[in-house]
Structure 1
């Protein structure tokens, strides 16, 4: 059914005459009559009947007019929701890794609660491969991901990528140890991420440059659990510098080469005109 014809019927139910409907909508009585007749053909039943020199709605016309109010309100809401100039409102689904959620997204959510209360952000904690899969399936609207400067990500042509921030990474060892050439760690057990291979790729590259193949023993997602294993002497790992690690863990700098994690906000190409998504990405980029 054509929404324009539904509006004619709705106005007829309110105003009672085609002449008044024409005056209200800035058209002609003939156009109103033709639109109602076309709508009756679309639904397959008469919608108006003669009432002296005027017309009145049939029982089917009254029922359809009630539906028309709901339908047209939904159409107007959809247009407003998708209007790039409209006030942001709607549910935004974000998949991201824990550090970016804490560092970048939570402050944005707090800001939106004050300045854009119509935007509801729903958070899903995922590593980049999982987040990219969700983004590709339209299960989320925004992915917060990362790569390393020495192991850059390969972006799809379908992605729009906004750099957010960078963080130095180093070598997490028990606090009593001192900085030493990377090759001296050849006989140690190593801990890598269980849900993303990026840090393992960096580790294997650094180890290859130092002349050894690392013995990866543990695969752990939680940085806090990595800290626990390091303190317990069960392995060493690449960890972010500047983070409040558990007491007993020291993060030594890596300088040759320097290793930096780089965080990004990633969307599907062409989606950022949606006001809630644009509002969140702009705030993320500003933090």
Structure 2
């Protein structure tokens, strides 16, 4: 089977329309249609069926798209293996969230050889993952929470980077509550909440903790910047989850959350078959080495 045709089928299964496939892969819709028709003839079974004015994958098409994940990964790995001794060179495109860029990625930049350069975009996990799946970046640094775990696409490989504890940020005048995370959160059942504007993960954690405490959180504010979240808290607009190690501004206190303890987990993700490409592999090695150093010094 032609791997290019398999890539078109897999992309169609993810994007849902030939027009979207043509835009992402830079081919005409006619080419997409013709190549998938040729693939159907090659495997001897229809892969598409009408769906109104559009088309959708048949059950056989969906099964072949699932197989295509592993086939394309093996193809990528084979290409990389043709020259395993090549010196790292080229551009590594990275999409990552703010903290990962500043605390994880930038500290290793000086270790890269001159032949390897980075192109970095600040993106929240949903955007970073979408760009990675569409092959618009080579590496994505994302995060989830232990109380809101992410389900990664099987076409991607994930490498854990670090974890951080999160606390409840409240105005300093707020009374202190002893007990578990549920007890602490329950004391603020009538308070407005602030959550991330670009990623739902911390909102899921808030809703999980609130559900354990027996109430529905009143989410009224959304902001991406932690500094802005702090400003909103001091302005009396609500409370929020924040990293326990984040520098606090005047007028804010952090209430520790235990049993359960919310923890953010950062990951580096690449498409399967790309981990042996010299330049991305070097960046991953540097990130892994930094993770090990940080883990040892934090014990």
For normalisation by structure 1, the TM-score amounts to: 0.69
In the other structure, the counterpart of 1:119 is 116
CA distance in 1, matches of 2:233, 2:208: 21
Which whole-Å deviations, capped at 9, do the CAs of 1:215-267 have from their partners, x for residues lacking one?
00011001110010011111100000111132222221110211100000000
Partner SS for 1:93: strand
Partner SS for 2:99: helix
CA distance in 1, matches of 2:289, 2:250: 33
In the other structure, the counterpart of 2:202 is 199
CA distance in 2, matches of 1:162, 1:178: 40
In the other structure, the counterpart of 1:145 is 142
CA pair 141-246 structure 1, distance change in 2 beyond 3 A: same
CA distance in 2, matches of 1:280, 1:247: 38
In the other structure, the counterpart of 2:128 is 131
CA distance in 1, matches of 2:200, 2:147: 13
Which whole-Å deviations, capped at 9, do the CAs of 1:159-205 have from their partners, x for residues lacking one?
11100000000101112324323211011010000000000000000
In the other structure, the counterpart of 2:247 is 244
Structure 2 residue runs without a partner (length 5+): 1-78, 178-183, 291-299
- 1:161 and 2:158 correspond: yes
Question: Residue 86 of structure 1: CA displacement?
Answer: 1.6
In the other structure, the counterpart of 1:281 is 284
In the other structure, the counterpart of 1:47 is none
In the other structure, the counterpart of 2:105 is 105
CA distance in 1, matches of 2:114, 2:193: 46
The RMSD of aligned alpha carbons is 1.7
CA distance in 2, matches of 1:142, 1:96: 8
CA distance in 2, matches of 1:86, 1:220: 44
- 1:186 and 2:179 correspond: no
Question: Residue 151 of structure 1: CA displacement?
Answer: 1.2
In the other structure, the counterpart of 2:36 is none
In the other structure, the counterpart of 2:89 is 89
Structure 1 residue runs without a partner (length 5+): 1-78
- 1:260 and 2:257 correspond: no
Which whole-Å deviations, capped at 9, do the CAs of 1:16-54 have from their partners, x for residues lacking one?
xxxxxxxxxxxxxxxxxxxxxxxxxxxxxxxxxxxxxxx
Contact 1:83–1:275 (CA under 8 A) maintained in structure 2: no
Partner SS for 1:279: helix
CA distance in 2, matches of 1:123, 1:156: 22
- 1:173 and 2:176 correspond: no
Question: Residue 96 of structure 1: CA displacement?
Answer: 0.6
For normalisation by structure 2, the TM-score amounts to: 0.66
Partner SS for 2:237: coil
CA distance in 2, matches of 1:138, 1:279: 19
